[in-house]
Amino acid sequence: GGFNVVIGNPPYVDNRGFNKEELNYLYKNYIHSFKKSGTDKFKTTKLNLIAPFIELNSKILIEKGLTSFIFHKNIFKTNGYTTIREFILKNFDILNLTDWGAGQFQDVVAETATFVLRKGNVLDDLIKIEFYNLSDKYFENQQSQSVFLNSYEFIFGIYSSTSDRNILNKIETKSFHLQEFVNINNGIVTGNDGLYLNKHKENEQYKKAIRGKDIKRYSYLIENEFVLYQKEKLLRARDENIFTAKEKLIMQMININFIITYDENQFYNLGTTYAITNISDSFTNLKYILLILNSKLIGYYYIKKFTNESTLTNAISTQNLFNIPIKKISLSDQHLYIVKADIMLSLNKELQNKVDIFLKRLKSNVTNINLTNKLSSFYELDFKTFLSEIKKQKIEIALKQQDEWEEYFDSYKKEIDELKKQINKTDKEIDKLVYELYGLSEEEIKIIETVK
């Protein structure tokens, strides 16, 4: 016996509120809903109830019975759903997958999707894939189920075309995983930022700290916050050797794009960042890794391989990071890439210095001015708009002073614009080098360049 059709809207609830008895019950009855660890043993500490509801379907449906669920679309690619994706692919024919995007349901922030599955003999038929923006369908595609079954982590790559998959395969060919070159470390979680973070260095226990929001690609890190590093009192203090390393890369954690810079000044990175340190015998320069990870090619690879191209920002997982494909070349061959990385670091430092000098002058010469986001990015404004932003704060600048400020403003804006042109030019040169390193054709490069 069983049901011919099951339609559901399972709860999006994780296991944090479950007791041990409830977890053991779920583990015993719905083992495919749990994530596997690196040793291939199942973890019983991370679960979302979407997964056991899907697994339950196979138990209550008749053979060739149909089911359709609505769920958070992160099930397509997120690491925590690997085993349930495998279960779906091996126990159901997928007839339809639809990405509904965000805003379909009142008071629901999550981006949602639906599937239609048929229980039983798995056929390698084409899956109908649809994409909607609110009520409007804007794209339709088809994909063979075997493509998902043979993919890394059983990812449902509905956002990648055949051309995309061919490029991904080419990037991976004769490459090595990032984990063979570096360690990736989480940042400090204080447990009480109000107590442990300070704008001033009160004593030697305070260490210069950096947050994800303070990092830009190739940016120069500036001291503007300190963490009271009392290892035994912090919630997650991490190994201090990570922060005191001679050099490391610091990366934003919460972003769909890779935002990474270089640190040789021993910053203590906080919980919204990763610290990337060299494996001692990797024979790879960190600046080479920095340049590759910040390239347009690797940005494209990550988006197409590991994300749902979501409009909502998610954390970059270390598991996915470790699987980024890196070309292994000699230290002498890395030299050209290192030189380009040094140029980018130098240009960005010069740019930041000029911006900081201008803003300090503005702050010291205009009483009570608040440096808003627009004023902080003054170089993107013309002088008239810059002046109007100041006036919004009920601050008047005399006409004679306006003449002086305009001359000063235009001078700095011109210098900054020139630096930005040099940065963009060098960035394009870097992308060209990386395309050549991975052996991409002009046609393949055009495909990558169209991805935002």
pLDDT in tens, 92-136: 999 999 998 876 777 767 788 999 999 987 887 889 999 887 667
Residue carrying structure tokens 């300070």: 198
Asked if the model's pLDDT at residue 46 lies above 80, the reply is no
Q: What is the mean pLDDT of residues 163-179?
A: 96
| Mean pLDDT within 177-185 | 96
Same domain, residue pair 154 and 11: yes
User: Does 311 lie in the same domain as 268?
Assistant: yes
**pLDDT score of 42:** 44
- Cβ(118)–Cβ(95) under 8 Å? yes
pLDDT band, residue 256 (cuts 50/70/90)? confident
Give the C-alpha distances (Å, rounded to integers) separating 196 from 181, 201, 238, 241, 392: 33, 11, 15, 19, 35
Report which DSSP code applies to 43.
P
The answer to whether position 231 is within a domain reads yes
Query: Are the beta carbons of 47 and 15 closer than 8 angstroms?
Result: yes
Confidence band, pLDDT 50/70/90 cuts, at residue 38:
very low
- Residue 41 predicted with pLDDT over 50: no
pLDDT confidence of 36, banded at 50, 70, 90?
low
pTM (global) more than 0.85 = yes
Strand blocks (E) in 211-366: 226-228, 248-252, 260-263, 268-269, 273-278, 325-326
Measure the CA angle with vertex 208, ends 273 and 222; round to 5°: 80
Residues 181 and 322 in one domain: yes
Q: Cβ contacts of residue 430 below 8 Å, gap of 6+? A: 291, 294, 295, 337, 340, 344
The angle formed by the CA atoms of residues 116, 154 and 451, to the nearest 5 degrees, is 90
Q: What is the pLDDT of residue 135?
A: 67
| 77: pLDDT strictly greater than 50 | yes
pLDDT in tens, 310-359: 666 678 989 899 999 999 999 999 999 999 999 999 999 999 999 999 99
- Whether residues 272 and 228 share a domain: the answer is yes
Examine residue 347 and state whether it is found in any structural domain, yes or no. Answer: yes
Which residues span the domain enclosing 120?
A: 3-158
pLDDT at 390: 96
Residue 170 falls inside a structural domain: no
Q: What is the pLDDT of residue 311?
A: 63
Mean confidence (pLDDT) of the chain: 91
Percentage of the chain surpassing pLDDT 70? Answer: 94
In a domain, 167, yes or no: no
Indicate whether 188 and 323 sit together in one domain: yes
**Is 164 within the bounds of a domain?**
no
Residues 354 and 317 in one domain: no
Confidence label for 39 from pLDDT (cuts 50, 70 and 90): very low
Query: Strand 260-263's sheet: what is its strand order?
Result: 182-186, 273-278, 248-252, 260-263
Q: Cα dist. 182→156, 172, 206, 321, 328 in Å?
A: 28, 18, 27, 10, 13
User: Taking the chain, what is the end-to-end CA distance rounded to the nearest angstrom?
Assistant: 51
User: What's the structural domain count of the chain?
Assistant: 3
Tell me: do 343 and 284 sit in the same domain. Answer: no
- 368-398 residue pLDDT tens: 999 999 999 999 999 999 999 999 999 999 9
**Displacement of CA 17 from its chain's centroid (Å):** 28
Condensed to tens digits (0 to 9), the pLDDT of residues 267-319 reads 999 999 999 999 977 689 999 999 999 999 999 999 999 888 766 667 898 98
Is the pLDDT higher at 38 or at 71? Answer: 71
31 plus 89 within the same structural domain: yes
Secondary element (H or E) of residue 34: none
Q: What is the CATH number of the domain that holds 297?
A: 3.90.220.10
Tell me: do 123 and 11 sit in the same domain.
yes
Residue 163 is assigned to a structural domain of this protein: no
Please give the pLDDT value at position 280.
75
Residues 251 and 284 in one domain: yes
Asked if residue 169 is part of any domain, the answer here is: no
Domain end (from 305, 331, 357): 331
> Do residues 406 and 382 touch, judged by C-beta distance below 8 A?
no
Is 151 found in the same domain as 254?
no
76 belongs to a structural domain: yes
Report the CATH number that the domain containing residue 91 is assigned in CATH.
3.40.50.150
Q: Is the domain of 239 the same as that of 316?
A: yes
**How far lies 120's CA from each of 63, 71, 413, in Å?**
6, 22, 66
